[in-house]
Structures are given as structure tokens and as C-alpha cells.
Amino acid sequence: MPNPVTLLGVAVLAYLLGSFPAGYLLARLWGVNVLEKGSGRTGGTNVFRSAGILPALITGAIDVGKGALAVWLAGQLVPGDGQATAQVLAGAAVILGHNHSVFLKFRGGAGVGTSLGALGAVYWPAALALVVLLLAIIALTRYASLGSLVVITAMPIILLVLAGMGLLAGTYVVYGLLAWAIVVYSHRPNIRRLIAGTERRLGDKRRTAS
């Protein structure tokens, strides 16, 4: 079992990495305050709607990258038997940092890209498969939130299958469950709108906050 102080340090580092508000800063360069637009989130979808495709793509890449970096660093700082525990903790912490940034009074994104980046640092084929699934659902339905919810729900299932096949430690299933809980919690408004039929599709003109 890793030293608790080391684990605490890993969690704090991951949280701070997650807190880096890439979407907010990039949108500011385009003259937009995403906290005051659309959903008020800093993730790629709201940046796309508020500032355009280029800052949205850069935002998405950085959000994925900080998830991967946090989990990779955790693996380097805590090698050996405690590595999986440290990486699970870092994965959850980096998503929390992204969704509740200390630099934005605990506002942020919804955590899907960051959660996929964190998974990618552990088992990239699974993360790549989920990215393809996400893009396919968005292309078919134009609902970014629906794609996000399907993908984050599939994540712990895939990790459970991989653990059952002996490809990953069972500890990583805990990461999938934590990521699911954090991301679904952040999507509560989207879930309500999907049920009500008022959720905006990508490309639709604004009719309600998203």
C-alpha cells in the first residue's frame, strides 16, 4: 500500500492539473467568456458553441491531455504494487479538478474528455474505442450530451471486461465507477433536458441553456 502522504500528494497534483481552465482561457483569446455563455461550462462543447471550432478542438486536446498526464505522473510517482491505486485516485482527482476548478471558483467542464484521457494513460485501446463511439453517437444524433453519457456508462463495463480477461488490475474498475459518478452528476441538467426533449443538438440555434 502506498504511503498515504504520497497518495495525498498525487491527488492534489492531479486536481491542480485538472483545474487548469484551458477552455476558459482559449475562449477569452477569442473574446468570449464561456462562463457567461450557454451552459457556463468550460469544455469543448460550450467553447464550440460560444467561440468556434478551432478553440474547441484545442480545448478538447488539452482536456484529454491533462487527464492522461495526471494518471501517467501518478504511475511514475508510485510504481509497483500501489501504482493502480495511485492512478485511480489521480484519475478521479483530475476529473474533479476539471469540473470544479479552483481557479474558476469551482466551476468547469463536464469531465468526459478528461476522463477519456485518464483512461488512455492506463489502456489506450479502450480509450480510443470510446472516442470512436462518442463521435459516432454525436454524428448520428448531434447530441453531445447523449454521446458523453453513453460513453461514460460504457467505461466501467469495459474496464470490468478487461479486468476479467486479465489485461488490467481490477482496481481500475473503481476508476470507471468514480468517473461515471462524477460525469453523470455534472450532466444532471442535460439528462433532464434529454428526458424533456429540450436538449440542444450541435448546430441548432440557441433555444435554451445547454
**Does residue 207 fall inside a structural domain?**
no
- Please calculate the CA angle 59-108-57 and round it to the nearest 5 degrees: 10
Q: How many domains does the chain have?
A: 1
**Does residue 90 fall inside a structural domain?**
yes
Predicted confidence (pLDDT) at residue 90 exceeds the cutoff of 50 = yes
**Does residue 210 fall inside a structural domain?**
no
SS (H, E, C) the chain: CCCHHHHHHHHHHHHHHHHCCHHHHHHHHCCCCHHHCCCCCCCHHHHHHHHCHHHHHHHHHHHHHHHHHHHHHHHHHCCHHHHHHHHHHHHHHHHHHHHCEHHHCCECCCCHHHHHHHHHHHCHHHHHHHHHHHHHHHHHHCCHHHHHHHHHHHHHHHHHHHHHCCCCCCHHHHHHHHHHHHHHHHCHHHHHHHHHCCCCCCCCCCCCCC
**Does residue 146 fall inside a structural domain?**
yes
pLDDT (0 to 100) of residue 206:
56
**Does residue 138 fall inside a structural domain?**
yes
pLDDT (0 to 100) of residue 153:
98
**Does residue 79 fall inside a structural domain?**
yes
**Does residue 123 fall inside a structural domain?**
yes
Average confidence score pLDDT of the chain: 94
Q: Tens digits of per-residue pLDDT, 33-84?
A: 999 998 899 999 999 999 999 999 999 999 999 999 999 999 999 998 899 9
Q: Tens digits of per-residue pLDDT, 93-127?
A: 999 999 999 999 999 999 999 999 999 999 999 99
Q: Tens digits of per-residue pLDDT, 187-199?
A: 999 999 999 999 9
Structural domain boundaries enclosing 135 = 4-196
